[in-house]
Amino acid sequence: MIRIVLIFFLAVTLFGCSKAADNYEANDKYVATTIATSDIKIYKEPDLLTLLDKKVKDDHTIKDNVRITEVLHDERSSFVKFVFEENTTLIEGVAYVTQEQDAWKLEQLAVLPVDSKSPFTHHEYASALNDGTNRGFKIVSGYINEPKIKEIRIIYADREMRVIMIGKNQKTYIDCVIGDTGSIKEISALDDTGKTIFKY
């Protein structure tokens, strides 16, 4: 039985933003969201894409397969960023998976519709590893709407900064920290000249 307890903060409140990119407006309708889920079905597959596809199709009505955009690995744990479309709505998600012998096992998963009014979205997902250590982890991820964004900078409360370079056709980003980093102090998007386009 999978016991999933997660906190998924939708941190897209745009208070305190510096400058919005062209054609984007601050949207104060989004508030922090906490989601707690449990799932008695165990998902295991030899292929990672098949694993996520089966879970998403059990919960959503989609025609095409899930698209995995990024995967971060740490020992037996992996953290996945993916997107899919339900009807005409683009949805982004993250998953925590582990490897057991020749199979991938889904541990945790959360999805939310993409906010197309923001230059980039910002979601935080915090929980604990299912590896016997009970170490905490935090996934920070999002979807990029503004093509001028070439870099995402995440500054954690412990003052550690992560820099994620955005490729030409890249539409998502993901960072994962295992251990206690505290909350995020700031997350910002920069263009190719180093100018801040938007920040939370």
Q: Is 189 exposed, middle or buried (0-12, 13-18, 19+ CB in 10 A)?
A: buried
> Cβ neighbours of residue 137 under 8 Å, at least 6 residues apart?
77, 79, 96, 126, 127, 128, 129, 176, 177, 178, 179
Q: What is the pLDDT along the chain (200 residues), one digit of tens a residue?
A: 333 333 333 333 322 333 344 444 443 333 333 334 445 688 999 999 999 999 999 999 998 999 999 999 998 899 999 999 999 999 999 999 999 888 999 999 999 999 999 999 999 999 999 888 888 999 999 999 999 999 999 999 887 899 999 999 999 999 999 987 678 899 999 999 999 999 88
Amino acid at 141: S
Phi and psi angles of residue 59, each rounded to the nearest 5 degrees, phi first: -105, -15
Q: How many CB atoms lie within 10 A of CB 92?
A: 22
Predicted structure pTM score: 0.80
